Amino acid sequence: MRRKQIFGTALAALVLAGAAAVAGWQGLQTCGWIDRALARSGCLGTVRFDGVKLSYKSTAQPMGDGRVVIEADMLTADGWRPGLIVLDPVTGDEGGRYPLPLSGGT
């Protein structure tokens, strides 16, 4: 009986430590909850788009009118292609998608 109690307590402690490690790891990522709380990278939040893959080579540039254009790989009828996405960072609204006449998306 005592052995089961010790095993249960050890298992609960292991699960709790694992959950804390995962939460800490996620928080330390760019735009993670710790990153935003400490304002380490200047990230204010995240925006997700359906059919868009951001990678290490994705870039974003301000357009001058408050909107931002993002270069990313997007899913089209022809498969994944490089393209541009216009975004309003204040509202998170997507202003348009413009596939580029290139091939070789990832």
Residue 15, both tokens: 């699960």
Do residues 85 and 49 make contact, with C-beta atoms less than 8 angstroms apart?
yes
In a domain, residue 47? The reply is no
Distance between CA atoms of residues 104 and 106, nearest Å: 6
In a domain, residue 106? The reply is no
Q: Does residue 25 share a domain with residue 57?
A: no
* Residue showing tokens 């959950």: 19
Q: What's the mean pLDDT in 15-31?
A: 86
- Domain range enclosing 30: 2-38
Give the tens place of pLDDT for each residue, 32-67: 888 888 877 777 667 777 888 887 778 888 888 889
Q: Does residue 63 share a domain with residue 33?
A: no
pTM (predicted TM-score): 0.55
Q: Does residue 33 share a domain with residue 60?
A: no
Q: Does residue 86 share a domain with residue 64?
A: yes
Residues contacting residue 28 through CB under 8 Å, at least 6 positions apart: 34, 35
> How many independent structural domains does the chain possess?
2
Q: Does residue 59 share a domain with residue 84?
A: yes
In a domain, residue 22? The reply is yes
In a domain, residue 44? The reply is no
